[in-house]
Amino acid sequence: MTAPVQLRSLLFVLNPISGDIDKADLEGTIRSYCHERGRQAAFFHTTGDNDLERLREHLQHVAYDAVFAAGGDGTVSLVAEALVEGELPLGIIPLGSGNGLSKDLGIPQQVEEALRLTWDFEVLTMDTIRVGGKFSAHLADLGFNALVVERFDQGDVRGPGAYIRIATQEFINFEPEHYHIKTDLEEWEGPAFMLTIANANTFGSNVVINPEGELDDGQFEICLIDPFPNAAAPGILYNLYTSGFDNSAYTRRLCCSRATITVPGKDNVLVQIDGEPMRLPTPVEVEILPQSLRVLTPKAQNQEPAPPTK
Banded model confidence at residue 303, pLDDT cuts 50, 70, 90:
very low
pLDDT of residue 18: 54
pLDDT of residue 96: 81
User: Who contacts 274 (Cβ-Cβ below 8 Å, separation ≥6)?
Assistant: 73, 74, 76, 77, 100, 101, 136, 137, 138, 139, 140
Which position has the higher pLDDT, 302 or 149? 149
**Residue 236 reports pLDDT greater than 50:** yes
**Residue 116 reports pLDDT greater than 50:** yes
Burial 45-78 (b: 16+ CB within 10 A, else e): ebeeeebeeebeebbeeeebbbbbbbbbbbbbbb
Banded model confidence at residue 172, pLDDT cuts 50, 70, 90:
confident
In the chain, which residue ranges form alpha helices assigned H by DSSP?
23-36, 51-61, 73-83, 100-104, 111-114, 144-154, 160-173, 233-241
pLDDT of residue 301: 57
* Backbone phi and psi for residue 93, each to the nearest 5 degrees, phi listed first: -110, 100
pLDDT of residue 168: 83
Share of the chain above pLDDT 90, in %: 75
How far is 182 from 168, CA to CA, in rounded Å? 32
134-290 to CATH, choices 3.40.50.1100, 3.30.470.20, 3.40.50.970, 2.60.200.40: 2.60.200.40
Determine the average pLDDT of the residues in 301-309: 49
Determine the average pLDDT of the residues in 216-235: 95
pLDDT of residue 23: 61
Amino acid, res. 211: P
Q: Three-state SS for 158?
A: coil
Lowest mean pLDDT: which of 46-50, 178-182, 195-199, 288-292? 46-50
245, 223 Cβ separation under 8 angstroms: yes
**Residue 121 reports pLDDT greater than 60:** yes
pTM metric for this prediction: 0.88
Banded model confidence at residue 21, pLDDT cuts 50, 70, 90:
low
pLDDT of residue 73: 87
Banded model confidence at residue 275, pLDDT cuts 50, 70, 90:
confident
Determine the average pLDDT of the residues in 120-139: 96
How far is 149 from 153, CA to CA, in rounded Å? 6
Q: Considering only CA atoms, which of 253, 205, 216 is closest in space to residue 103?
A: 205
Banded model confidence at residue 307, pLDDT cuts 50, 70, 90:
very low
In the chain, where the domains are located = 9-120, 134-290
The mean of the pLDDT values for the chain is 89
How far is 147 from 78, CA to CA, in rounded Å? 22
Looking at domain 9-120, its CATH class is alpha beta
Q: Helices 144-154 and 160-173 meet at what angle, rounded to 10?
A: 130
How far is 139 from 67, CA to CA, in rounded Å? 21
**Residue 106 reports pLDDT greater than 90:** yes
Q: Considering only CA atoms, which of 248, 24, 276 is closest in space to residue 134?
A: 276
Determine the average pLDDT of the residues in 150-167: 75
pLDDT of residue 100: 87
How far is 17 from 88, CA to CA, in rounded Å? 25
**Residue 97 reports pLDDT greater than 80:** no
The residue length of the chain stands at 310
